[in-house]
Protein backbone atom coordinates (compact mmCIF):
# COMPACT_ATOMS: atom_id res chain seq x y z
CA UNK A 1 0.00 0.00 0.00
CA UNK A 2 1.14 3.55 -0.77
CA UNK A 3 0.84 6.23 1.96
CA UNK A 4 -2.57 7.88 1.69
CA UNK A 5 -1.15 11.28 0.76
CA UNK A 6 -3.67 14.09 0.51
CA UNK A 7 -3.60 17.37 -1.37
CA UNK A 8 -5.86 20.39 -1.26
CA UNK A 9 -9.06 19.56 -3.06
CA UNK A 10 -8.02 15.94 -3.70
CA UNK A 11 -10.79 13.46 -2.89
CA UNK A 12 -9.16 10.06 -2.79
CA UNK A 13 -11.79 7.68 -4.18
CA UNK A 14 -14.87 7.82 -6.37
CA UNK A 15 -18.22 6.29 -5.57
CA UNK A 16 -18.05 2.56 -6.06
CA UNK A 17 -20.43 0.63 -8.27
CA UNK A 18 -20.45 -2.37 -5.97
CA UNK A 19 -23.19 -4.24 -7.84
CA UNK A 20 -21.28 -4.27 -11.12
CA UNK A 21 -19.12 -7.29 -10.38
CA UNK A 22 -19.97 -9.89 -7.71
CA UNK A 23 -17.64 -10.81 -4.89
CA UNK A 24 -16.68 -14.33 -3.95
CA UNK A 25 -15.84 -15.65 -7.43
CA UNK A 26 -13.85 -18.91 -7.36
CA UNK A 27 -10.08 -18.45 -7.13
CA UNK A 28 -8.34 -15.13 -7.77
CA UNK A 29 -10.39 -12.52 -9.62
CA UNK A 30 -8.94 -9.02 -9.83
CA UNK A 31 -10.65 -5.77 -10.75
CA UNK A 32 -9.82 -2.11 -10.17
CA UNK A 33 -11.60 0.99 -8.86
CA UNK A 34 -10.64 4.60 -9.51
CA UNK A 35 -9.65 7.40 -7.19
CA UNK A 36 -9.25 11.08 -7.94
CA UNK A 37 -6.77 12.42 -10.51
CA UNK A 38 -3.58 14.29 -9.80
CA UNK A 39 -3.36 16.87 -12.61
CA UNK A 40 0.04 17.94 -13.86
CA UNK A 41 0.93 21.28 -15.46
CA UNK A 42 1.74 20.87 -19.15
CA UNK A 43 5.33 21.28 -20.29
CA UNK A 44 6.27 21.91 -23.91
CA UNK A 45 2.96 20.65 -25.29
CA UNK A 46 2.81 17.52 -23.11
CA UNK A 47 0.35 17.14 -20.23
CA UNK A 48 -0.07 14.26 -17.78
CA UNK A 49 -2.35 12.69 -15.20
CA UNK A 50 -1.95 10.28 -12.34
CA UNK A 51 -4.81 8.56 -10.52
CA UNK A 52 -5.31 6.98 -7.17
CA UNK A 53 -6.88 3.57 -7.55
CA UNK A 54 -7.80 0.50 -5.58
CA UNK A 55 -7.09 -2.99 -6.98
CA UNK A 56 -9.82 -5.32 -5.71
CA UNK A 57 -9.69 -9.10 -5.25
CA UNK A 58 -13.25 -10.22 -6.00
CA UNK A 59 -12.24 -13.87 -5.68
CA UNK A 60 -12.20 -16.47 -2.92
CA UNK A 61 -8.41 -17.03 -2.84
CA UNK A 62 -5.53 -14.68 -1.92
CA UNK A 63 -3.93 -12.86 -4.86
CA UNK A 64 -0.12 -12.76 -5.15
CA UNK A 65 1.37 -9.32 -4.50
CA UNK A 66 5.11 -9.94 -4.47
CA UNK A 67 7.69 -7.24 -5.18
CA UNK A 68 10.60 -9.70 -5.14
CA UNK A 69 9.33 -11.59 -8.19
CA UNK A 70 7.10 -11.11 -11.21
CA UNK A 71 4.18 -12.52 -9.23
CA UNK A 72 2.31 -9.25 -8.79
CA UNK A 73 -0.24 -7.21 -10.78
CA UNK A 74 0.44 -4.32 -13.15
CA UNK A 75 -2.08 -1.63 -14.10
CA UNK A 76 -2.20 0.40 -17.32
CA UNK A 77 -4.19 3.58 -17.92
CA UNK A 78 -5.75 5.08 -21.02
CA UNK A 79 -7.49 8.40 -21.68
CA UNK A 80 -10.18 8.64 -24.40
CA UNK A 81 -12.31 11.38 -25.91
CA UNK A 82 -15.90 10.98 -27.12
CA UNK A 83 -17.23 13.51 -29.59
CA UNK A 84 -19.69 13.93 -32.45
CA UNK A 85 -18.40 15.12 -35.83
CA UNK A 86 -20.91 15.91 -38.59
CA UNK A 87 -23.56 13.98 -36.71
CA UNK A 88 -21.44 10.83 -36.26
CA UNK A 89 -20.00 9.80 -32.90
CA UNK A 90 -16.47 8.55 -32.36
CA UNK A 91 -14.33 7.35 -29.47
CA UNK A 92 -10.60 8.07 -29.74
CA UNK A 93 -7.82 7.27 -27.31
CA UNK A 94 -5.72 10.38 -26.68
CA UNK A 95 -3.48 9.31 -23.80
CA UNK A 96 -1.68 6.26 -22.42
CA UNK A 97 0.51 5.33 -19.45
CA UNK A 98 3.19 2.75 -18.89
CA UNK A 99 2.39 -0.25 -16.65
CA UNK A 100 2.22 0.50 -12.92
CA UNK A 101 3.83 -2.32 -10.87
CA UNK A 102 2.04 -2.64 -7.52
CA UNK A 103 3.74 -2.88 -4.14
CA UNK A 104 3.04 -5.09 -1.12
CA UNK A 105 -0.35 -4.20 0.48
CA UNK A 106 0.35 -3.06 4.01
CA UNK A 107 -3.35 -2.52 4.67
CA UNK A 108 -6.17 -4.68 3.36
CA UNK A 109 -9.66 -3.18 3.55
CA UNK A 110 -13.10 -4.18 2.33
CA UNK A 111 -14.47 -1.09 0.61
CA UNK A 112 -16.21 -3.15 -2.08
CA UNK A 113 -16.51 -6.69 -0.66
CA UNK A 114 -16.29 -8.46 2.65
CA UNK A 115 -12.52 -8.60 3.20
CA UNK A 116 -10.67 -11.62 4.61
CA UNK A 117 -7.11 -10.26 5.07
CA UNK A 118 -4.27 -12.62 4.21
CA UNK A 119 -0.70 -12.69 5.40
CA UNK A 120 2.50 -12.06 3.48
CA UNK A 121 2.79 -10.68 -0.03
CA UNK A 122 -0.86 -11.34 -0.94
CA UNK A 123 -4.18 -9.53 -1.16
CA UNK A 124 -6.92 -11.40 0.65
CA UNK A 125 -10.30 -12.50 -0.73
CA UNK A 126 -12.70 -9.56 -0.95
CA UNK A 127 -9.96 -7.09 -0.02
CA UNK A 128 -8.68 -4.03 -1.82
CA UNK A 129 -5.34 -2.27 -1.82
CA UNK A 130 -4.95 1.52 -1.90
CA UNK A 131 -2.50 3.08 -4.36
CA UNK A 132 -2.11 6.84 -4.16
CA UNK A 133 -1.85 9.10 -7.18
CA UNK A 134 1.65 10.36 -6.24
CA UNK A 135 2.86 6.78 -5.82
CA UNK A 136 1.34 5.83 -9.15
CA UNK A 137 3.27 8.69 -10.77
CA UNK A 138 6.70 7.58 -9.51
CA UNK A 139 8.95 6.64 -12.42
CA UNK A 140 10.44 3.77 -10.39
CA UNK A 141 6.99 2.12 -10.22
CA UNK A 142 6.33 2.33 -13.97
CA UNK A 143 7.60 -0.10 -16.61
CA UNK A 144 7.17 -0.40 -20.40
CA UNK A 145 4.05 -2.19 -21.59
CA UNK A 146 6.04 -4.35 -23.99
CA UNK A 147 7.53 -6.14 -20.96
CA UNK A 148 4.02 -7.46 -20.14
CA UNK A 149 2.42 -10.54 -21.74
CA UNK A 150 -1.18 -9.61 -20.94
CA UNK A 151 -3.12 -12.78 -21.76
CA UNK A 152 -0.81 -14.80 -19.46
CA UNK A 153 -0.52 -12.02 -16.87
CA UNK A 154 3.27 -12.34 -16.84
CA UNK A 155 5.89 -9.62 -17.08
CA UNK A 156 9.61 -8.99 -16.87
CA UNK A 157 11.14 -8.80 -13.39
CA UNK A 158 12.68 -6.53 -12.44
CA UNK A 159 10.99 -4.14 -14.84
CA UNK A 160 12.74 -1.26 -16.59
CA UNK A 161 11.88 1.95 -14.67
CA UNK A 162 10.60 4.93 -16.64
CA UNK A 163 13.02 7.78 -17.22
CA UNK A 164 13.44 10.93 -19.27
CA UNK A 165 11.04 13.77 -20.06
CA UNK A 166 8.85 15.76 -17.74
CA UNK A 167 6.38 12.98 -16.85
CA UNK A 168 8.19 9.66 -17.37
CA UNK A 169 5.78 6.75 -17.75
CA UNK A 170 2.73 8.70 -16.60
CA UNK A 171 -0.57 8.98 -18.46
CA UNK A 172 0.53 11.52 -21.06
CA UNK A 173 -1.62 13.40 -23.57
CA UNK A 174 -1.48 16.53 -25.72
CA UNK A 175 -3.40 19.50 -24.24
CA UNK A 176 -4.53 20.34 -27.78
CA UNK A 177 -6.58 17.10 -27.75
CA UNK A 178 -8.67 18.43 -24.86
CA UNK A 179 -10.76 21.20 -26.39
CA UNK A 180 -13.81 20.59 -24.19
CA UNK A 181 -15.99 21.39 -27.21
CA UNK A 182 -19.74 21.01 -27.40
CA UNK A 183 -20.75 17.42 -26.70
CA UNK A 184 -17.20 16.25 -25.94
CA UNK A 185 -16.82 13.83 -23.04
CA UNK A 186 -13.75 12.17 -21.58
CA UNK A 187 -13.20 8.69 -20.22
CA UNK A 188 -10.32 7.12 -18.33
CA UNK A 189 -9.80 3.35 -18.32
CA UNK A 190 -7.70 1.23 -15.97
CA UNK A 191 -6.61 -2.30 -16.84
CA UNK A 192 -5.19 -4.68 -14.22
CA UNK A 193 -3.09 -7.67 -15.36
CA UNK A 194 -1.86 -10.48 -13.08
CA UNK A 195 -0.66 -14.06 -13.55
CA UNK A 196 -2.88 -15.80 -10.99
CA UNK A 197 -5.90 -13.92 -12.30
CA UNK A 198 -5.11 -15.02 -15.88
CA UNK A 199 -4.45 -18.62 -14.78
CA UNK A 200 -7.90 -18.60 -13.20
CA UNK A 201 -9.43 -17.42 -16.55
CA UNK A 202 -10.82 -14.38 -14.74
CA UNK A 203 -9.63 -11.64 -17.09
CA UNK A 204 -12.99 -10.62 -18.54
CA UNK A 205 -13.58 -8.02 -15.80
CA UNK A 206 -10.07 -6.57 -15.53
CA UNK A 207 -10.95 -3.18 -17.02
CA UNK A 208 -12.83 -0.28 -15.44
CA UNK A 209 -13.81 3.04 -16.98
CA UNK A 210 -14.90 6.28 -15.41
CA UNK A 211 -16.09 9.54 -16.94
CA UNK A 212 -14.16 12.77 -16.38
CA UNK A 213 -15.02 16.42 -16.69
CA UNK A 214 -12.40 18.61 -18.35
CA UNK A 215 -11.31 22.21 -18.08
CA UNK A 216 -9.05 23.24 -20.95
CA UNK A 217 -7.06 26.37 -21.72
CA UNK A 218 -5.53 25.16 -24.98
CA UNK A 219 -2.09 24.75 -23.42
CA UNK A 220 -3.10 22.88 -20.27
CA UNK A 221 -6.00 20.67 -19.15
CA UNK A 222 -7.32 19.52 -15.80
CA UNK A 223 -9.77 16.71 -15.09
CA UNK A 224 -12.15 15.75 -12.30
CA UNK A 225 -14.19 12.60 -11.67
CA UNK A 226 -17.87 12.44 -12.49
CA UNK A 227 -20.23 9.56 -11.72
CA UNK A 228 -19.33 6.04 -10.66
CA UNK A 229 -16.77 3.54 -11.86
CA UNK A 230 -17.96 1.04 -14.47
CA UNK A 231 -16.13 -2.01 -13.21
CA UNK A 232 -15.59 -4.85 -15.67
CA UNK A 233 -16.28 -2.63 -18.72
CA UNK A 234 -13.97 -1.30 -21.43
CA UNK A 235 -13.60 2.03 -23.18
CA UNK A 236 -15.68 0.64 -26.07
CA UNK A 237 -18.43 -0.18 -23.59
CA UNK A 238 -18.17 3.48 -22.60
CA UNK A 239 -18.69 4.47 -26.25
CA UNK A 240 -21.86 2.37 -26.37
CA UNK A 241 -23.00 3.88 -23.08
CA UNK A 242 -22.66 7.36 -24.58
CA UNK A 243 -24.11 6.36 -27.96
CA UNK A 244 -26.53 3.37 -27.89
CA UNK A 245 -26.25 3.04 -31.69
CA UNK A 246 -22.74 1.60 -31.22
CA UNK A 247 -22.39 -2.16 -31.67
CA UNK A 248 -19.61 -4.34 -30.24
CA UNK A 249 -18.25 -7.81 -30.96
CA UNK A 250 -15.40 -9.58 -29.18
CA UNK A 251 -12.93 -12.17 -30.44
CA UNK A 252 -11.32 -14.73 -28.18
CA UNK A 253 -8.19 -16.05 -29.93
CA UNK A 254 -8.23 -19.20 -27.75
CA UNK A 255 -4.64 -18.86 -26.69
CA UNK A 256 -3.32 -15.32 -27.07
CA UNK A 257 -6.03 -13.05 -25.64
CA UNK A 258 -9.04 -11.04 -26.74
CA UNK A 259 -9.87 -8.15 -29.07
CA UNK A 260 -12.99 -5.99 -29.21
CA UNK A 261 -14.30 -4.30 -32.36
CA UNK A 262 -16.97 -1.60 -32.13
CA UNK A 263 -18.64 0.35 -34.91
CA UNK A 264 -21.29 2.92 -35.61
CA UNK A 265 -22.71 3.80 -39.05
CA UNK A 266 -24.41 7.18 -39.45
CA UNK A 267 -26.24 8.62 -42.45
CA UNK A 268 -24.73 12.10 -42.71
CA UNK A 269 -26.37 13.16 -46.00
CA UNK A 270 -29.12 11.80 -48.29
CA UNK A 271 -26.62 9.57 -50.08
CA UNK A 272 -23.66 9.46 -47.68
CA UNK A 273 -22.95 7.16 -44.75
CA UNK A 274 -20.09 7.56 -42.28
CA UNK A 275 -18.46 4.34 -41.08
CA UNK A 276 -16.67 4.56 -37.74
CA UNK A 277 -14.76 1.59 -36.28
CA UNK A 278 -12.73 1.26 -33.10
CA UNK A 279 -10.51 -1.73 -32.36
CA UNK A 280 -9.57 -2.32 -28.73
CA UNK A 281 -6.81 -4.76 -27.84
CA UNK A 282 -8.07 -6.05 -24.54
CA UNK A 283 -5.18 -8.46 -23.85
CA UNK A 284 -4.12 -9.92 -27.20
CA UNK A 285 -0.40 -10.40 -26.65
CA UNK A 286 0.75 -10.53 -30.33
CA UNK A 287 -0.81 -7.13 -30.97
CA UNK A 288 -2.77 -6.07 -34.05
CA UNK A 289 -0.99 -5.02 -37.24
CA UNK A 290 -3.76 -4.88 -39.86
CA UNK A 291 -7.47 -4.08 -40.06
CA UNK A 292 -9.49 -4.57 -43.25
CA UNK A 293 -12.96 -4.90 -44.73
CA UNK A 294 -14.56 -5.26 -48.16
CA UNK A 295 -15.95 -2.29 -50.10
CA UNK A 296 -17.88 -2.09 -53.39
CA UNK A 297 -15.68 -1.61 -56.49
CA UNK A 298 -18.18 0.88 -57.90
CA UNK A 299 -18.37 2.92 -54.67
CA UNK A 300 -14.86 3.47 -53.29
CA UNK A 301 -14.68 5.05 -49.84
CA UNK A 302 -13.74 8.68 -49.31
CA UNK A 303 -12.31 10.65 -46.37
CA UNK A 304 -10.39 7.59 -45.16
CA UNK A 305 -8.79 8.31 -41.76
CA UNK A 306 -6.87 6.63 -38.96
CA UNK A 307 -6.41 7.67 -35.32
CA UNK A 308 -3.96 6.21 -32.81
CA UNK A 309 -2.44 7.26 -29.51
CA UNK A 310 1.16 8.39 -29.01
CA UNK A 311 3.71 6.11 -27.39
CA UNK A 312 6.19 7.97 -25.21
CA UNK A 313 9.51 7.50 -23.48
CA UNK A 314 11.88 4.69 -24.32
CA UNK A 315 8.98 2.24 -24.17
CA UNK A 316 10.06 -0.07 -27.00
CA UNK A 317 12.53 -2.88 -27.49
CA UNK A 318 16.14 -1.78 -27.10
CA UNK A 319 15.14 1.37 -25.24
CA UNK A 320 13.67 2.91 -28.41
CA UNK A 321 10.37 4.78 -28.35
CA UNK A 322 7.80 2.78 -30.28
CA UNK A 323 6.82 4.26 -33.64
CA UNK A 324 4.01 6.77 -33.97
CA UNK A 325 3.79 6.57 -37.77
CA UNK A 326 0.15 6.35 -38.84
CA UNK A 327 -1.04 3.12 -40.36
CA UNK A 328 -1.12 3.29 -44.15
CA UNK A 329 -4.46 2.85 -45.90
CA UNK A 330 -5.02 1.41 -49.36
CA UNK A 331 -7.60 -0.33 -51.51
CA UNK A 332 -6.70 -3.77 -52.82
CA UNK A 333 -8.52 -4.33 -56.11
CA UNK A 334 -10.15 -7.70 -56.76
CA UNK A 335 -9.45 -8.58 -60.41
CA UNK A 336 -12.84 -10.33 -60.58
CA UNK A 337 -14.50 -7.12 -59.36
CA UNK A 338 -16.64 -8.93 -56.82
CA UNK A 339 -15.40 -6.75 -53.97
CA UNK A 340 -12.36 -4.64 -53.20
CA UNK A 341 -10.62 -4.50 -49.83
CA UNK A 342 -9.96 -1.39 -47.77
CA UNK A 343 -7.07 -2.00 -45.41
CA UNK A 344 -5.03 -0.16 -42.80
CA UNK A 345 -1.71 -1.62 -41.71
CA UNK A 346 1.60 -1.04 -39.97
CA UNK A 347 4.87 -2.80 -40.82
CA UNK A 348 5.07 -6.40 -39.57
CA UNK A 349 7.23 -7.17 -36.54
CA UNK A 350 9.78 -8.78 -38.87
CA UNK A 351 10.21 -5.40 -40.55
CA UNK A 352 10.16 -3.24 -37.42
CA UNK A 353 9.69 -4.70 -33.92
CA UNK A 354 8.89 -1.19 -32.65
CA UNK A 355 6.30 -0.44 -35.34
CA UNK A 356 3.04 1.24 -34.40
CA UNK A 357 1.16 -1.95 -33.53
CA UNK A 358 -2.10 -1.93 -31.57
CA UNK A 359 -0.89 -3.34 -28.24
CA UNK A 360 -2.77 -4.35 -25.09
CA UNK A 361 -5.09 -1.92 -23.35
CA UNK A 362 -5.10 0.39 -26.38
CA UNK A 363 -7.72 1.57 -28.90
CA UNK A 364 -7.21 2.68 -32.52
CA UNK A 365 -9.96 4.23 -34.69
CA UNK A 366 -10.64 3.73 -38.42
CA UNK A 367 -13.17 5.71 -40.46
CA UNK A 368 -14.41 6.60 -43.93
CA UNK A 369 -17.45 7.79 -45.88
CA UNK A 370 -19.29 5.87 -48.59
CA UNK A 371 -22.40 6.39 -50.75
CA UNK A 372 -23.76 2.96 -49.85
CA UNK A 373 -25.82 2.09 -46.75
CA UNK A 374 -24.62 -0.60 -44.35
CA UNK A 375 -25.13 -4.34 -44.61
CA UNK A 376 -23.89 -7.23 -42.44
CA UNK A 377 -20.40 -8.20 -43.54
CA UNK A 378 -16.95 -9.17 -42.37
CA UNK A 379 -14.09 -7.18 -40.90
CA UNK A 380 -10.70 -8.75 -40.32
CA UNK A 381 -8.01 -8.12 -37.70
CA UNK A 382 -4.55 -9.63 -38.13
CA UNK A 383 -1.74 -10.18 -35.63
CA UNK A 384 1.41 -8.06 -35.54
CA UNK A 385 3.62 -10.77 -34.04
CA UNK A 386 3.65 -14.58 -34.41
CA UNK A 387 0.90 -16.31 -32.45
CA UNK A 388 0.34 -19.55 -30.58
CA UNK A 389 -3.31 -19.68 -31.66
CA UNK A 390 -5.29 -17.92 -34.37
CA UNK A 391 -3.35 -15.15 -36.12
CA UNK A 392 -6.43 -13.40 -37.49
CA UNK A 393 -10.13 -13.01 -36.78
CA UNK A 394 -13.04 -12.50 -39.13
CA UNK A 395 -15.86 -10.73 -37.31
CA UNK A 396 -19.37 -9.80 -38.36
CA UNK A 397 -19.85 -6.03 -38.42
CA UNK A 398 -21.51 -3.51 -40.73
CA UNK A 399 -19.82 -2.65 -44.01
CA UNK A 400 -21.00 -0.76 -47.13
CA UNK A 401 -23.71 -2.50 -49.12
CA UNK A 402 -22.16 -4.05 -52.23
CA UNK A 403 -24.81 -4.04 -54.94
CA UNK A 404 -22.11 -5.25 -57.35
CA UNK A 405 -22.39 -8.73 -55.87
CA UNK A 406 -25.98 -8.63 -54.57
CA UNK A 407 -27.54 -8.02 -57.99
CA UNK A 408 -26.44 -9.55 -61.27
CA UNK A 409 -27.97 -10.60 -64.56
CA UNK A 410 -27.86 -14.06 -66.13
CA UNK A 411 -29.54 -16.44 -68.64
CA UNK A 412 -29.11 -14.52 -71.89
CA UNK A 413 -30.63 -15.50 -75.24
CA UNK A 414 -27.38 -14.87 -77.14
CA UNK A 415 -26.70 -18.49 -78.09
CA UNK A 416 -23.71 -18.76 -75.74
CA UNK A 417 -25.65 -21.11 -73.43
CA UNK A 418 -28.88 -22.86 -74.30
CA UNK A 419 -29.92 -22.11 -77.89
CA UNK A 420 -33.09 -20.06 -78.42
CA UNK A 421 -36.14 -21.97 -79.80
CA UNK A 422 -35.75 -20.99 -83.47
CA UNK A 423 -32.29 -19.52 -83.65
CA UNK A 424 -33.64 -16.13 -82.56
CA UNK A 425 -30.48 -15.26 -80.69
CA UNK A 426 -29.86 -11.72 -79.47
CA UNK A 427 -26.44 -10.08 -79.99
CA UNK A 428 -23.72 -11.36 -77.67
CA UNK A 429 -22.87 -8.90 -74.92
CA UNK A 430 -26.26 -7.15 -74.89
CA UNK A 431 -27.54 -9.09 -71.85
CA UNK A 432 -31.01 -9.64 -73.36
CA UNK A 433 -33.44 -12.52 -73.75
CA UNK A 434 -34.13 -14.26 -77.05
CA UNK A 435 -35.11 -11.91 -79.89
CA UNK A 436 -38.79 -10.97 -80.30
CA UNK A 437 -40.77 -9.65 -83.30
CA UNK A 438 -39.21 -6.21 -82.85
CA UNK A 439 -35.79 -7.64 -83.60
CA UNK A 440 -34.60 -7.09 -80.01
CA UNK A 441 -34.52 -9.21 -76.89
CA UNK A 442 -36.53 -8.25 -73.84
CA UNK A 443 -34.17 -6.72 -71.27
CA UNK A 444 -34.61 -6.76 -67.48
CA UNK A 445 -32.47 -4.86 -64.99
CA UNK A 446 -32.78 -4.19 -61.25
CA UNK A 447 -32.03 -0.67 -60.01
CA UNK A 448 -31.55 0.39 -56.40
CA UNK A 449 -30.66 -1.31 -53.11
CA UNK A 450 -31.88 -4.72 -52.01
CA UNK A 451 -31.82 -3.75 -48.34
CA UNK A 452 -35.02 -4.26 -46.38
CA UNK A 453 -34.18 -1.28 -44.17
CA UNK A 454 -33.45 1.05 -47.11
CA UNK A 455 -35.23 -0.60 -50.00
CA UNK A 456 -35.18 1.21 -53.35
CA UNK A 457 -35.12 -1.81 -55.65
CA UNK A 458 -37.13 -1.54 -58.88
CA UNK A 459 -37.36 -4.07 -61.74
CA UNK A 460 -37.28 -2.31 -65.12
CA UNK A 461 -38.17 -4.02 -68.40
CA UNK A 462 -37.38 -2.59 -71.87
CA UNK A 463 -37.22 -3.65 -75.55
CA UNK A 464 -40.61 -5.43 -75.52
CA UNK A 465 -43.74 -4.99 -77.65
CA UNK A 466 -46.46 -2.67 -76.31
CA UNK A 467 -48.37 -5.51 -74.71
CA UNK A 468 -48.81 -7.09 -71.28
CA UNK A 469 -45.77 -7.98 -69.19
CA UNK A 470 -45.92 -10.27 -66.17
CA UNK A 471 -43.17 -9.75 -63.57
CA UNK A 472 -42.21 -13.00 -61.84
CA UNK A 473 -40.16 -13.95 -58.78
CA UNK A 474 -38.59 -17.38 -58.31
CA UNK A 475 -36.36 -19.05 -55.81
CA UNK A 476 -34.03 -21.15 -57.98
CA UNK A 477 -32.52 -20.93 -61.47
CA UNK A 478 -33.58 -23.43 -64.12
CA UNK A 479 -31.32 -25.42 -66.38
CA UNK A 480 -28.31 -24.75 -64.09
CA UNK A 481 -28.71 -21.06 -64.87
CA UNK A 482 -28.97 -21.53 -68.63
CA UNK A 483 -32.76 -21.76 -68.66
CA UNK A 484 -35.22 -24.13 -70.34
CA UNK A 485 -37.11 -23.63 -73.63
CA UNK A 486 -40.50 -21.95 -73.29
CA UNK A 487 -42.45 -20.12 -75.98
CA UNK A 488 -40.13 -17.99 -78.08
CA UNK A 489 -37.57 -17.71 -75.29
CA UNK A 490 -35.94 -19.23 -72.21
CA UNK A 491 -37.53 -19.69 -68.79
CA UNK A 492 -34.75 -18.93 -66.33
CA UNK A 493 -36.44 -19.03 -62.90
CA UNK A 494 -38.23 -21.77 -61.01
CA UNK A 495 -38.96 -23.10 -57.55
CA UNK A 496 -41.58 -21.17 -55.61
CA UNK A 497 -42.96 -18.70 -58.16
CA UNK A 498 -44.71 -15.43 -57.24
CA UNK A 499 -46.67 -13.35 -59.76
CA UNK A 500 -45.55 -9.89 -58.68
CA UNK A 501 -47.77 -7.95 -61.05
CA UNK A 502 -48.92 -7.50 -64.65
CA UNK A 503 -48.02 -4.25 -66.42
CA UNK A 504 -48.74 -2.79 -69.85
CA UNK A 505 -45.64 -1.80 -71.78
CA UNK A 506 -45.52 1.76 -73.05
CA UNK A 507 -42.84 2.54 -75.62
CA UNK A 508 -41.70 -1.03 -75.01
CA UNK A 509 -41.06 -0.48 -71.31
CA UNK A 510 -42.61 -1.04 -67.88
CA UNK A 511 -41.53 -1.51 -64.27
CA UNK A 512 -42.42 -3.09 -60.96
CA UNK A 513 -43.12 -1.66 -58.49
CA UNK A 514 -44.84 1.33 -60.08
CA UNK A 515 -47.04 4.02 -58.56
CA UNK A 516 -49.47 2.40 -56.11
CA UNK A 517 -47.61 -0.91 -55.93
CA UNK A 518 -46.23 -2.33 -52.67
CA UNK A 519 -42.44 -2.56 -52.33
CA UNK A 520 -40.91 -5.47 -54.19
CA UNK A 521 -39.82 -7.18 -50.96
CA UNK A 522 -43.35 -6.95 -49.54
CA UNK A 523 -45.05 -8.23 -52.69
CA UNK A 524 -42.56 -11.05 -53.00
CA UNK A 525 -42.51 -11.91 -49.29
CA UNK A 526 -38.74 -12.00 -49.32
CA UNK A 527 -36.62 -13.23 -46.41
CA UNK A 528 -33.38 -11.35 -45.61
CA UNK A 529 -30.06 -12.94 -46.50
CA UNK A 530 -31.86 -14.97 -49.19
CA UNK A 531 -31.37 -14.93 -52.96
CA UNK A 532 -34.32 -14.61 -55.37
CA UNK A 533 -34.55 -14.66 -59.18
CA UNK A 534 -36.64 -12.32 -61.34
CA UNK A 535 -37.81 -12.46 -64.97
CA UNK A 536 -40.49 -10.94 -67.27
CA UNK A 537 -42.95 -13.05 -69.26
CA UNK A 538 -44.41 -10.81 -71.97
CA UNK A 539 -46.99 -11.14 -74.75
CA UNK A 540 -45.67 -11.11 -78.33
CA UNK A 541 -48.77 -11.65 -80.54
CA UNK A 542 -47.07 -11.23 -83.94
CA UNK A 543 -46.49 -14.36 -86.02
CA UNK A 544 -42.89 -14.94 -85.10
CA UNK A 545 -40.65 -17.92 -84.32
CA UNK A 546 -42.79 -20.67 -82.72
CA UNK A 547 -46.57 -20.81 -82.63
CA UNK A 548 -46.47 -19.41 -79.11
CA UNK A 549 -47.37 -15.79 -78.66
CA UNK A 550 -45.06 -14.92 -75.80
CA UNK A 551 -41.40 -14.50 -74.94
CA UNK A 552 -39.23 -13.90 -71.88
CA UNK A 553 -36.52 -11.47 -70.86
CA UNK A 554 -33.16 -12.33 -69.37
CA UNK A 555 -33.19 -13.01 -65.60
CA UNK A 556 -31.80 -11.09 -62.63
CA UNK A 557 -30.37 -12.60 -59.46
CA UNK A 558 -30.96 -10.53 -56.25
CA UNK A 559 -29.70 -11.20 -52.73
CA UNK A 560 -31.68 -9.34 -50.07
CA UNK A 561 -30.02 -8.07 -46.90
CA UNK A 562 -31.56 -6.69 -43.67
Among 185, 219, 242, the domain boundary falls at 242
Q: Are residues 132 and 155 located together in one domain of the fold?
A: yes
CATH of the domain at 378: 2.60.40.290
- pLDDT over 70, % of the chain: 95
pLDDT tens figures, 379-396: 999 999 999 877 889 999
Q: Are residues 470 and 414 located together in one domain of the fold?
A: yes
Query: Can you tell me the mean pLDDT for 82-111?
Result: 92
Q: Are residues 364 and 392 located together in one domain of the fold?
A: yes
Q: Are residues 465 and 536 located together in one domain of the fold?
A: yes
Q: What is the structure's pLDDT at 398?
A: 94
Q: What is the structure's pLDDT at 389?
A: 78
Q: Are residues 379 and 294 located together in one domain of the fold?
A: yes
The answer to whether the beta carbons of residues 477 and 411 sit under 8 Å apart is yes
pLDDT greater than 60 at residue 251: yes
Note down the domain range covering 83.
1-242
For 25, 469, 515, the CA distances from 202, given in Å and listed in that order, are 9, 65, 60
Number of domains in the chain: 3
Q: Which residues pair with 261 in a beta bridge?
A: 249, 279
Assign 3-class secondary structure to 241-294.
Answer: HHCCCCEEEEEECCCCCEEEEEEEEEEEECCEEEEEEEEEECCCCCCEEEEEEE
Helix then strand then coil, in percent of the chain rounded to 5, is: 10, 45, 50
pLDDT tens figures, 165-204: 899 999 999 999 998 788 899 999 999 999 999 999 999 9
Q: Are residues 381 and 431 located together in one domain of the fold?
A: no
| DSSP label at residue 355 | S
pLDDT greater than 80 at residue 532: yes
| Strand, helix or coil for residue 337 | coil
Q: What is the structure's pLDDT at 312?
A: 95
For 296, 347, 411, the CA distances from 225, given in Å and listed in that order, are 44, 38, 66
pLDDT greater than 50 at residue 9: no
Which residues are CB-neighbours of 79 under 8 A, at least 6 positions away? 49, 93, 94, 95, 96, 171, 173, 186, 187, 188, 189
pLDDT band at 282 (very low <50, low <70, confident <90, very high): very high
Q: What is the structure's pLDDT at 142?
A: 97
pLDDT band at 16 (very low <50, low <70, confident <90, very high): very low
pLDDT greater than 90 at residue 20: no
pLDDT greater than 50 at residue 541: yes
Query: Can you tell me the mean pLDDT for 218-223?
Result: 93
pLDDT band at 373 (very low <50, low <70, confident <90, very high): confident
pLDDT greater than 80 at residue 3: no
pLDDT greater than 70 at residue 6: no
pLDDT band at 304 (very low <50, low <70, confident <90, very high): very high
Q: Are residues 190 and 311 located together in one domain of the fold?
A: no
Q: What is the structure's pLDDT at 2?
A: 37
More confident call, 408 vs 147: 147
Contacts 24+ apart (CB under 8 A), 155-159: 155/70, 155/74, 155/99, 155/101, 155/193, 156/70, 157/69, 157/70, 159/99, 159/101
Q: Are residues 101 and 192 located together in one domain of the fold?
A: yes
- pLDDT over 90, % of the chain: 80
Overall pTM surpassing 0.85 (yes/no): no
Beta strand ranges found along 318-406 (DSSP E):
328-332, 340-345, 362-370, 374-383, 392-400
Among 379, 401, 423, the domain boundary falls at 401
pLDDT greater than 80 at residue 346: yes
Among 341, 366, 401, the domain boundary falls at 401
Amino acid sequence: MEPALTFAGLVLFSAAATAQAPCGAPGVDLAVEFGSPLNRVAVAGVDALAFAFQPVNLGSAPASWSTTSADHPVIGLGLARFRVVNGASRMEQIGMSWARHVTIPALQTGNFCSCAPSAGATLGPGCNDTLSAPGNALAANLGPRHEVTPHAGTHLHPHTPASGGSFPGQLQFAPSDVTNGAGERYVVEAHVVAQDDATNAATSNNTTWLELTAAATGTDATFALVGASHRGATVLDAWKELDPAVQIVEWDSQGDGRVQVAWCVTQTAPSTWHYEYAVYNRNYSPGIGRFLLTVPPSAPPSNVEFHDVAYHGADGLGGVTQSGVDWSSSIVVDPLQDADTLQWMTPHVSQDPNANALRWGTTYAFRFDCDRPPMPGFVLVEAFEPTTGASSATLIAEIPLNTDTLIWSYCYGDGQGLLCPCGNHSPHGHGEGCTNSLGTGGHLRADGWSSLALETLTLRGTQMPNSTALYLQGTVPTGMGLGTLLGDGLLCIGGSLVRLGTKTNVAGASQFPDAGDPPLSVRGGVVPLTTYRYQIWYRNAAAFCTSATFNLSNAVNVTWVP
